[in-house]
Amino acid sequence: MKVGCVKEIKNKEFRVGMTPDNVKSYVSAGHEVYIEKNAGEGSGFTDSEYEAAGARMIETAKEVWDTVEMMIKVKEPLPEEYSLFHEGLILYTYLHLAADKPQTDALLGGKVKGVAYETLFDPKNGGLPLLAPMSQIAGRLSIQEGAKYLEKTFGGEGVLLAGVPGTPKANVVILGGGNVGTNACKIAVGMGANVTIMDISLSRLAYLDDIFGARIQTLVSTDANIEKAVKEADLVVGAVLIPGKAAPKIFKKKYLKEMKPGAVFVDVAVDQGGCGETTRVTYHDDPIFIEDGIVHYCVGNMPGAVPRTSTIALTNATLNYGLQIAGKGLERACAENEVIYSAINTYDGKLTCKNVADSFDCYEYTDIREICK
């Protein structure tokens, strides 16, 4: 198959969909690989490394889009890229459609086979194996960024997470105890903060209680518990997910006025629309805004800040499923490994992810198994 990769065009996005080592794997499997010149620059991969691995380096993104049967990216396509879609193209990337109707319309209209990293569910491989590595990174970064924006000169209340002997430690409240939440917890505990983590899953809370023991407080995520906890919080991390769906708005606007002025809210779940009523998307070059005295950090591509680590971590996970899809074609890859069905969000003009369809009122859901054969 002809597979390829273009330079990401999202604001301050430096990750890339394929490394030179990935290229070697695709070429060894008999595929032709097309890479846009300078695509790997932001992650520290040079054109000559891609060429040595067997890639054909292409001058423009348009030529790559026009040539390939399978495009391997990191972020969702942006409006400037919609006109480059062609019928039957396999687009293997993060899509986050529940937060993006224009993109959903473009993929359906272009009859693109949209294979979304974030909904691929593989119970034998950790649940959401193509989301997990970026969630690990974003979870860890959420505390690093939160600590920075708690500094007075960055607009925060002027509190050090760990405190020092004789002063109170900061209170960190984490909403959602999955991959982002667990990694945020690890760093916050490591930095010496008081950590409270909430989830709707009791079994997840039991797991967190087992691994962190007395160093954290676990609570069921209810409106009452959230309202009580955030009043005392210095840093709140939004880390909830219902795969494919728009995030539930559990961090309410009315809480802001009851919180400490200068407290920070890092909404990692912003890529699924955000779990804060006051969340709006921000970018790395202007990552915060202040509403009702609370600093909001809502960057939808947090791992893009550490692209070398993130590209390697992401492609470690995407390579194996990507090789299955390229090697067998999407249809046979699904038939032989049924977990891949769960990643297909759009196919032949139909919306095939139930949770995405449920997040909108306007699309009919089609069962992918009925049409992808």
- Indicate which residues carry an active-site annotation: 96, 271
Nearest to 70 by CA among 31, 108, 105, 106: 31
For the chain, helix, strand, coil in percent to 5 are 45, 20, 40
Taking the CA of residue 9 as centre, how many other CA atoms within 13 Å lie in the half-sphere pointing to its CB? 12
Indicate which of ligand PYR, ligand NAI, none lies near residue 241 (CB less than 5 to 8 Å, by partner kind): ligand NAI
Nearer of residues 81 and 271 to ligand PYR, judged by Cβ: 271
Binding-site member from 138, 173, 326, 330 for ligand NAI (CB under 6 A):
138
Cβ 9 vs Cβ 66: under 8 Å: no
**Cross-strand pairs, 251:** 276
- Judged by CB under 6 A, the residue of 134, 143, 147, 333 near ligand NAI is 134
If the CB atoms of residues 43 and 171 are measured against ligand PYR, the closer one turns out to be: 43
Sequence-ordered alpha helix ranges (H) in the chain: 20-28, 47-52, 61-67, 79-82, 101-109, 132-149, 179-190, 202-212, 223-231, 253-256, 307-336, 354-359, 368-371
Closest distance to ligand PYR from the beta carbon of 314 (Å): 7
Sheet holding 171-175, edge to edge: 216-220, 194-199, 171-175, 235-238, 264-267, 294-297, 288-291
Nearest of 226, 228, 233, 231 to residue 249 by alpha carbon? 226
Q: Of how many residues is the chain composed?
A: 373
Least distance from C-beta 279 to ligand PYR, angstroms? 15
- Binding footprint of ligand NAI, residue count (CB under 6 A): 36
**Residue whose token pair is 């991969």:** 45
Q: Which two tokens stand for residue 212?
A: 């962190």
**How big is the chain by its Cα radius of gyration, in Å?**
21
Q: Is 188 in the site for ligand NAI (CB under 6 A)?
A: no
**Counting contacts by CB under 6 A, is residue 17 touching ligand NAI?**
no
Helix axis angle for 179-190 and 132-149, nearest 10°, is: 40
Give every CB contact of residue 223 below 8 A, 6+ residues apart in sequence.
250, 252
Piece of the chain touching ligand NAI by CB under 6 A; list 12-20, 166-174, 263-271, 352-360: 263-271
Using CB under 6 A, pick the residue from 17, 303, 307, 322 that binds ligand PYR: 303
Number of residues in contact with ligand PYR, rule: CB under 6 A?
8
The smaller minimum CB distance to ligand PYR, of residues 256 and 299, is found at 299
Using CB under 6 A as the binding rule, the residues of this chain from 272 to 311 that contact ligand NAI are 272, 299-303
Tell me which residues in 83-142 interact with ligand PYR (CB under 6 A): 94, 118, 131, 134
Residue 156 interacts with ligand PYR (CB under 6 A): yes or no = no
Choose which of 208, 235, 259, 268 interacts with ligand NAI (CB under 6 A): 268
135 counts as binding ligand NAI under rule CB under 6 A? yes
**Cβ of residue 257: shortest distance to ligand PYR, in angstroms?**
31
Among candidates 218, 194, 187, which has minimal Cα distance to 204? 218
For residue 210, the minimal CB distance to ligand PYR (Å) is: 27
| CB 58 to ligand PYR: min, Å | 24
Q: Which stretch binds ligand NAI (CB under 6 A): 24-32, 54-62, 173-181, 252-260?
A: 173-181
Neighbours of 141 (CB within 10 A): 23
d(CA 57, CA 64): 9
Binding site for ligand PYR (CB under 6 A): 75, 94, 118, 131, 134, 271, 301, 303
Binding site for ligand NAI (CB under 6 A): 118, 128, 131, 134-135, 138, 175-181, 198-201, 204, 221, 239-242, 247-248, 250, 268-272, 299-303
